Structure 1
């Protein structure tokens, strides 16, 4: 069988692709991967036998929507040409956005012959866009959502299942931080991923900047937001904030050793963020790291309910005291038990999803 994984970014930014690749026998099937190479940074190679198709078109994430439209028109042309040329038997679309560009073609040529991976709310408030998403879900043989909260914007269908931004390959490294002393000062609050949400991070700099009890560490892609943060840091002469640049996914197994609290804060006005379950939530429960999340978002509510983190208000002038007190008074035995329970629950859903993918491919 000839299978295409179709994405609009680089492999290193979609670790959840392994959720699907692990269910495919790449020796018996002809597996292809369409990626979008947007910058000059090196990508990682698939761990399995896969034919790569690279759409090369430089584009920063923090640019105007108009410029993005032009790039996506070019991407659509490239993807459609690839589909016609290669004549695939099955497609896995991750995330959903590439599918919205080709929804008519997919409905006509791949009805019940593709899986949709839905991981972000973008323009669903627009009626036409919401209809496109519904069309994709209904024509897919299966749709996986990375957060149950996403079901609120999708049609009620029996073919929607829950996956997670969970990386089983991280499990052998669970004790990397746990085996080190917890009493470390200053406390190191770390963020990893694409650095954006300028207002949130500027607020964080104002609350924790030059507080001798804390350090702020940022690992990841730096564009306009990081530049604005560095300018603010220079203006305020803040000394306890550090940027470490891009990293490979496996490198986090090392820098978590130098992390005490995960910064899992985002723009709460963004509908997609309010419903999302981010990668760092799972890193927190896997590596036994407490996380600070926003009030009013699904991920934060889940962390607080499970006992794996707290929800905070960035407007709180005493925020640094609140976070310091939270960490200092943590019952580590209860916290680690909460992480274990959450990992166990997620693993069950993850394995159920793998079985659904395997059974689906066997029927094609």
Structure 2
């Protein structure tokens, strides 16, 4: 695998850390600014919303820029935003900085995955995306707990400065390792690019991505109260559970990319969504046993995070055929779909959540997984040569 792809993964690690570390810092931020924790939580929800809304718009506007220069500019902006966040002395300013940071995040991931795929042969495209996305999942395992610990031990400001340093290192690596990457020539104006939202080939794929992430985050968002109230774990046990889920997500990210390369997106998504539904349903039983829930969290994390590399690679491959001039925008829309799913799943899980029965969120997650399987079954995979059907995949399994 080219070292340039690894440099993209390092950048993804920095971005993933700054996205999620804020969750562990919310109590300290609320205290520092004299606001409620729920108000501080806007730093999380507005971040996801900014990715969802801003990514497709900025991806379309910047489509004509040279991709190498754009990736470097986005990482410089990301680094400066983290420095500004660490220095910020007012909550509205910090919120505005997070919104700008989120847009840079979304555009970088959408563009970065297309670049990663362009650096390897087509048959390894899923693995290239998986390696890049693994930076995000590794951040969930190490960067987020580590950043939270540093914030509690020293200062809420320090994690932002550490991430800024990581961003600077990632920028230097990209500058040194990325080859010259031309712009998407003939990308058209912003309206023609956003017409992708009417594409019969791509919109169902965005729906699969959104529903797949919504299924997981309907439950995962409320995992902490589930582990404390149902399993009876303390704060250290909850941290262990989150890390176990994160380890599973790393395995799933790499495995999802390989599965997609070998057997195609239709078969891979069927496996991922079916496994996701079963592993979440198993929580209804395993949640009452600490050892079982830890094993369950690992398996659940693996199936859940097999979905992003499968769907991101699939969107790029099909966009190269149906919308070759705006592949970067198509990939950016998929990143937006993921975050829309995260926000939507969290909302639906919250509506089902009751203080007496945290496990009610599991039913929402399983139902969304089943809906995802229906969307996969209804999609006309045979219309797209870039996508391998389940029948083709089964033939490969037998050989």
TM normalised by structure 1 equals 0.25
Choose between structure 1 and 2: higher strand proportion. Answer: 1
Larger Rg belongs to: 1
TM normalised by structure 2 equals 0.23
